[in-house]
Amino acid sequence: MSIEGILRRKGTDVATIAPEASIKSATDRLRAERIGALVVTSGNAVVGLISEREIVHAFSRYGETAGAMSVKEIMQHGATTVSPDESVNHAMNLMTRHHMRHILVLRGGELAGIVSTGDVVKHRLEDLELETNVLRDVYNAAR
């Protein structure tokens, strides 16, 4: 299945934040929306990604003062991307190779969505359940 299939199931809404926003405001958004990452945008352009990982590292390194720092000071620059027509396996391989929990989906250079490891796992579990049911049906029909 393609990344497009995951986006159809989960939706294409993407939580964004400005590079000038504080890490505290990013943390508040992540908690309020119960998500693990925000896409950093300037106007309509994607400029990076900030996840729980960057925030934890910032607080570990800078202590309480990290909350007042700006998102652009700790965000991932040049986030890895996939297109909607690429396979889920390709995205999974990229995420594994680069130790990423989120990957941006771009369609014609425009932000089309974001896929997390949880989305990929859910997709794979659904595929495995379908395969199991098909094999069970084939087995039962052959009896």
Q: Using alpha carbons, select from 1, 35, 8, 2 the residue that is nearest to residue 113.
A: 8
- Predicted structure pTM score: 0.84
| Residue 99 neighbours by CB distance under 10 Å | 7
The 10s digit of each residue's pLDDT in 4-63 is 999 999 998 999 999 999 999 999 999 999 999 999 999 889 999 999 999 999 999 999
Q: Is the pLDDT of residue 69 over 90?
A: yes
Q: What is the pLDDT of residue 111?
A: 93
Fold of 3-142: CBS-domain (3.10.580)
Q: What is the pLDDT of residue 125?
A: 82
- CA dist 57 and 80 (Å) reads 20
Cα 67–chain centre separation: 23
Q: What is the pLDDT of residue 89?
A: 92
The 10s digit of each residue's pLDDT in 111-129 is 999 999 999 988 888 777 8
The 10s digit of each residue's pLDDT in 83-96 is 999 999 999 999 99
Q: Where are the domains of the chain?
A: 3-142
Q: What is the pLDDT of residue 78?
A: 82
Residue reference for tokens 């159809």: 8
Residues 132/6, Cβ–Cβ less than 8 Å: no
